[in-house]
Amino acid sequence: MLTAYIDESLRRRPDDCSVYAMAAVIADSADHDDIRLALESLRLGKRRRLHWRDESPAHRLDIARTLTKLPLHSIVTVCIHDRGIRHERARRLCLERLLCELDARDIEEVVLESRYAEDRLDRSLLTGMRRSRRVSLAMEVRWISPYDEPLLWAADAMVGATTRWLDGHSQCFDVLADQIRVICLE
């Protein structure tokens, strides 16, 4: 069974625009335990999780190199928008396209990083997409804390590498490029 793990990244740019991106890391459930162990081995010190923005450039590169050895790939949706568009709107655009892409690939389960109270907004989007038959009722969608699911760390790394690449820092993205499909939204 294929499962997708989704995380997002928001970057404000100095040129009066922002980048909102979401990554879905796709892996077969038979590989989940091995991937989790590999990701957990990358935690430094007493940190409870990997978080791309908190890691040093050298450790980000180590994470990227480790991800290339794991049986996973990702889809990243990117919305570059001006400050007049609310971030929640950009999130909806990214998530909507990502869910359609995953459904088209017959992904059976989707796990999103929980935003707790704001999860209701994602649930509302999902309900609307199911009612309009843009995504299958068979696709199970759950929200989980990143402290409870290391596979969300892989999605965080993929989306973080992509947004850094868009900002001109391509080293980690270049390492991961064969595992990332980027979809730019208009």
pLDDT digits (tens, 9 = 90+) for 3-42: 999 999 988 766 668 899 999 999 999 999 999 999 999 9
pLDDT at 81 over 80: yes
Determine the average pLDDT of the residues in 67-83. 94
- Measured CA to CA in angstroms, residue 153 lies from 11, 39, 84 at distances of 18, 7, 30
CB atoms within 10 A of CB 17: 14
Residue count (the chain) = 186
Angle at 183 between CA 182 and CA 184, to 5 degrees: 115
**Matching residue, tokens 């590999």:** 38
Residue 180: pLDDT band with limits 50, 70, 90: very high
Q: What is the pLDDT of residue 45?
A: 86
Task: Note the pTM of the prediction, 2 decimals.
Answer: 0.94
Which pLDDT does position 64 carry in this prediction?
Answer: 98
